Amino acid sequence: MASSADTPLWRRAFDAIEVPLRVRAESTASTAEFAQTLLTLFQVTTVMGRAARSTSSRLWHVGNLPSYSDMRRLFRQLGAIENRLDRMSVEIERLARRLDEHERPVRRSARKPRTTTVKSETLDERSDGDGE
């Protein structure tokens, strides 16, 4: 390790403060009293948060406005509707493809139909002369 003469002054000052504080913090954090205090603090925070949300929700409802929980419920319902719509769209596309397959005319062969050559005579020339 480097000698104290090579270590910068700021680092020596930091180490002089950090080491005793770290030892004290580690010994405090490992006690049962610290764990109980921390647990109580979390519980109080949770209870206070719930009370604040409940109060604000009632105030929003007094003003005939939706609260956060109302909006969250609506967003969940909207998400469920979107998911259902997506599933229905996929099903409709699948059914449309099946319907297209059943409606296509079935070709008997891949050959081209034979064409017959017609003489280049007009309709009048082919008629029997009555004009009919």
* Residue spans per domain, the chain: 9-65, 66-103
Q: What percent of the chain has pLDDT over 90?
A: 68
Q: Which residues contact 57 (CB under 8 A, 6 or more apart)?
A: 67, 68, 69, 70
Is residue 54 within 8 A of residue 67, CB to CB? The reply is: no
pLDDT(106) > 60: no
pLDDT(14) > 70: yes
CA-CA distance, 39 to 45, in Å (whole number)? Answer: 10
pLDDT of residue 88: 97
List the structure tokens of 99: 């319907």
| pLDDT tens by residue, 41-99 | 999 999 999 999 999 999 999 999 999 889 999 999 999 999 999 999 999 999 999 99
Q: How far apart are the first and last CA of the chain?
A: 122
